[in-house]
Structure 1
Amino acid sequence: MSTTLEQLRTGQLAGAQRLSLSCGLTSFPPEIFDLADTLEILDLTGNALSSLPDDLPRLHKLRIVFCSNNLFTSLPAVLGNCPELSMIGFKANQIREVPAQALPPKLRWLTLTDNVIESLPDELGDCRYLQKLMLAGNRLQSLPASLARCTQLELLRISANRLPSLPAWLQELPRLSWLACAGNPFNEAREAAALDTAGMEHIDWQRLQLGQQLGEGASGVISQATLDGQPVAVKVFKGAMTSDGLPRSEMAACVSAGNHASLIPILGTVSAHPQGSLALVMPLIDAAYVNLAGPPSLASCTRDIYGDEVRFSQPQLLGIAHGVASAAGQLHAHGIVHGDLYAHNILHHPDGRCLLGDFGAASLFAPEAPIAAVLQAIEVRAFGVLLAELLARCDASAPELQQLASACLQEQLLLRPRFDHIASSLAAIRAA
């Protein structure tokens, strides 16, 4: 029995708006209903639950439910009866079935990553507020065409499924900006070829001396290291499914990206790792580079969080925007969509230089395929969001940049500018 559960049972949590219990629960503690008038966020991740009570809607203020890493085989239908519920997370269960009745009317964010789902109900298209849909690591062979009606959808994760192709209706989603679709049958051959023919130096693990950990993300751990006496950084992939997809897909994109001033170079791949893990060696980044923003919060859903004090001069803004647009243009030319073009994945230097990183959501595509123009246009909208965020934090008047942002954000995908045009426009503004 965890301390938190004891606190719940003795009434010490009266009036709580958020409750987190991870203590091997096999049934729903009835004492949770004592918080019915205040509870908004319920996190039951990391237990052994397989059902929720039929009277869950008694928690009438409940907005968010997390039940990841449990034993559910079906998304509980009772969720659909919770009037204020907008965010549902059931990652890494054993879910096979998603009943239409489980979809609440205000659903905004649905995470069903790493389950065994083979199909989704057509009624998912009726979720008119849906902004974020995370389905990586399932067994989906198709997606309901009704999703074309979800015109608020901005982020879609469908990597590591069994999709033979991407649906044509993606171009009907006017706000879709962040798409991860790697590790499906339609791009597995390209990923395998990238990993086999990367032409990268293979660096024996024994040549590396690991130092302090620099950071950890969903897909891997980055550590400082030395290679033959020279300082480097090493990313060791965890090998497990992430919300974005498979680490091997990320590595395939990384080694295919090529050299660019606004991309972190890859010095080589690691061979003979003691656990057989995939790993990359990169240069050590100057400590003057910092993250442009923080990742989205539960409240912001799909929007990054900037510090209140963050401001950009126009030269800084132009340096960041041009660097990102130019890098993204190179990725597209190499048949890669970044999939997560966000400020929180950009490191920037005070002088305006920047580095686009984190390829966890990146996907390979055939540049000559008809869907390529759609994938590129989706990513251009992500850039439009970024540019608008930078402009909102810049005091200089910039009508040309406002016009460019609007062009990137327009609802008709195929009328958006391509990154080569965006980069050349930004270069011209910088030179003026």
Structure 2
Amino acid sequence: MVHTLAQLRAGHLAGATQLHLSEPLDGFPDDIFALADTLEVLDLNGTGLSALPDDLHRLHRLRILFCSNNAFTELPKGLGACPSLSMIGFKSNRIRSVPPESLPEGLRWLILTDNEVEALPDSIGRCTALQKCMLAGNEISLLPESMKNCTSLELLRLSANRFDVLPDWLCDLPRLSWLAFAGNPFSTAAEAQALTDPAIETVPWAELDLDDRLGEGASGVIYRARYRSGTVAVKLFKGGMTSDGLPQSEMAACLSAGRHPHLIPIRGRVCDHPQSTPVLVMDLIDPAFTTLAGPPSFATCTRDVYAPSLRLETAAIVRMLQGLASAAQHLHSKGVMHGDFYGHNILHDGRGAARLGDFGAASFYATGTARFERLEVRAFGCLIEELLTLCEDAPLALIALKAACLAPDPAERPLFADIHTALAAEAVNLQN
């Protein structure tokens, strides 16, 4: 619900735990401090603000603050003194500077996507509760070594920055599971090669007859379409920065992934759209397939939200995981990390058939090292953990596999080839 200053000033919002103002603001309204004893969520997105008061800590119960699509050039220093603040969202401002005192020690979720940030302060190492850090679309070339202390960090977005190389210690973080780094100088050559691969089919725009819209995500809109007497799905990319990175990076990863029975099949790309919009043409998935889970909530932060009514047979879960492990093995053999291996990016039919989609966070890396694969293995372990809550009797072998995938020392985690073998053996065991 959107509120107004008039409601606030008239006392109609007394005792509110959430406040959402969208009208243009010349400055931070002091009237908000009247809610100091109750306010937990404050949304000031798109209000034109460029500063916050230094005494923001008076909002001592404030947990979540949104100030995206505004005019900030510096992350406000007053944020760091807010005793309960755990989620900060300043997407699409003009922030260049992040002062050391602007980061509260209890921070769990930091969103600085699509700004002009050149460096993070060493003080981020004090944010040991940090789980989710969104930094795509900035000017960062180095991460402070103090981030080694961010041992709770699970999701990190570094796409479309200025990195020539990623720090060695990054893949040693014990909980890091979802990493995106496409669109940086060290990966642009691989992306360009994928986008110009002559083996990829080119689909003429004039031969596509768009029908109803099937869905919309952060990076694009998907339509049903007719193509050469058949039905396909067509994704028109929106352009611009998403929380995961650049649309062209997503397209490059999709094209490079190739065909696999547990990936959403790509037919080709359109190169002659009249507005030069990037377009992907994909197989249309049977409507019997539905999305496995919803994305993380504010409360869960990095973990998906499943429908309370969803229940799956143990054999179906093992079959699903076996197919997804095979898909992940296929991707990593090509030096592609999915980066968003989540239930909300998986389509399933309830009987164990599954397709992994959404390559918005996918990244290219040089094969020959298993470090990035073992990050994704931890994401797979989180998926196993979640799926085990949906069945009646969890096999001991699956519980053991989950523990191995979640091992705090990444070097001790199995690779997807080993995971696939273990799941195949368990599938046979369940049949006997």
Q: Normalization by structure 1: what TM-score?
A: 0.97
1:127·1:150 contact (CA, 8 Å) conserved in 2?
yes
Q: 1:167 to 1:3 in 2, by over 3 A?
A: closer
Partner of 1:420: 417
Question: 1:37: how far off?
Answer: 1.3
Letter in 2 for 1:293: A
Letter in 2 for 1:422: I
Tell whether the 8 Å contact from 1:335 to 1:364 is kept in structure 2 after alignment: yes
SS in structure 2 at match of 1:156 = strand
Q: 1:270 maps to which residue? A: 270
Q: What's the counterpart of residue 426 of structure 2?
A: 429
The amino acid across from 1:329 in the alignment is: Q
Q: Which one-letter code corresponds to 2:156 in the other structure?
A: L
Of the structure 1 ranges 373-382 and 266-275, higher mean CA displacement relative to structure 2 is found in 266-275
Residue 282 of structure 1 is matched in structure 2 by: 282
CA distance in 1: counterparts of 2:93 and 2:35, whole angstroms: 26
Q: Distance in 1 between matches of 2:208 and 2:258?
A: 23
Residues 312 and 350 in structure 2, CA contact (< 8 A), matched pair in contact too: no
Asked if structure 1 preserves the Cα contact closer than 8 Å seen for 2:56 and 2:78, the reply is: yes
Partner of 1:109: 109
2:220 is the alignment partner of 1:220: yes
The C-alpha deviation readout for 1:189-238, integer Å capped at 9, x for no partner, is: 00001111152111111111111111111111111111133211110111
**Secondary structure in 2 matching 1:224:** strand
Q: CA deviation at 1:170?
A: 1.2
94-103 vs 47-56, greater mean Cα deviation:
47-56
Retained in 1: the 8 A contact 2:154–2:176?
A: yes
Aligned to 2:175: 175
Q: How does 1:76-155 map to 2 (within 5 A)?
A: 76-155=76-155
1:240 is aligned to 240
Q: Which moved more, 1:290-299 or 1:47-56?
A: 47-56
Q: Give distance in 2, aligned partners of 1:319 and 1:138.
A: 40
1:324 and 1:355 in contact (8 A); partners too: yes
2:387 matches 1:390: yes
Distance in structure 1 (CA, Å) of the matches to 2:295 and 2:337: 19
Distance 1:13 1:240 in 2: 37
**C-alpha separation in 2, matches of 1:329 and 1:194:** 19
CA contact (8 A) 1:198 1:256 kept: no
Query: Which secondary structure state, in structure 2, belongs to the residue aligned with residue 281 of structure 1?
Result: strand
Asked if the contact 1:170/1:374 (under 8 Å) is kept, the reply is no
Alignment deviations for residues 73-128 of structure 1 (CA, whole Å, 9 cap, x no partner): 00000000100000001010000100010011211110101111111111111111
**Residue of structure 1 in register with 2:22 after alignment:** 22
Shift of 1:6: 2.5
Q: Does the 8 Å contact 2:28/2:52 carry over to 1?
A: yes
Aligned-partner SS, 1:260? coil
Asked if 1 retains the 8 angstrom alpha-carbon contact of 2:18 and 2:42, the reply is yes
Where does 1:249-264 land on structure 2 (aligned, <5 Å)? 249-264=249-264
When normalised by structure 2's length, the TM-score is: 0.97
- Structure 2 residue runs without a partner (length 5+): none
Give the aligned partner of residue 370 of structure 2: 373
Give the stretch that moved more between structures: 7-16 or 357-366: 7-16
**Post-superposition offset of 1:3:** 6.0
- Do the aligned residues in 1 keep the contact of 2:326 with 2:420 (CA within 8 Å)? yes
> Partner of 2:311 in structure 1?
311
Say whether residues 1:58 and 2:58 are aligned partners.
Answer: yes
Residue 202 (str. 1) matches residue 222 (str. 2)? no
Q: How much has 1:55 moved relative to structure 2?
A: 2.1
Give 1:323 deviation, angstroms: 1.1
The SS at the match of 2:383 is helix
Question: Following the alignment from structure 2 to structure 1, what is the Cα–Cα distance between the partners of residues 358 and 374?
Answer: 20
1:353-385 deviations in Å (ceiling 9; x for gaps): 0000010000011102xxx32111000000000
Match of residue 401, structure 2, among 391, 404, 419: 404
Gap change, CA 1:68 and 1:272, over 3 Å in 2: same
SS in 2 for 1:221: strand
Residues 266-294 of structure 1: per-residue CA shift (max 9 Å, x gap): 01101211211111011111111111110
**How far apart, CA to CA, are the structure 1 residues paired with 2:202 and 2:144?**
43
Q: Distance in 2 between matches of 1:226 and 1:151?
A: 49
Give the partner amino acid of 2:413.
Answer: R
Cα distance in 2, alignment partners of residues 198 and 60 from structure 1: 58
Q: Judging changes above 3 Å, is the alpha-carbon distance between structure 1 residues 82 and 225 closer, same or farther for their aligned structure 2 residues?
A: same
Matched residue SS, 1:267:
strand
Partner letter of residue 196 of structure 2? D
8 A contact 1:137–1:241 mirrored in 2: yes
Shift of 1:429: 1.1
Is the counterpart of residue 348 in structure 1 residue 348 in structure 2?
yes
Once superposed, which parts of structure 1, at least 4 consecutive aligned residues long, lie more than 4 Å away? none
Q: Helix, strand or coil for the counterpart of 1:232?
A: strand
Q: Separation in 2 of the partners of 1:206 and 1:4?
A: 48
Q: Write the distance in 1 (CA, Å) between the matches of 2:26 and 2:248.
A: 35
Cα contact 1:118–1:138 (8 A) shared by 2: yes
The AA in structure 2 aligned to 1:328 is: A
Name the structure 2 match of 1:321.
321
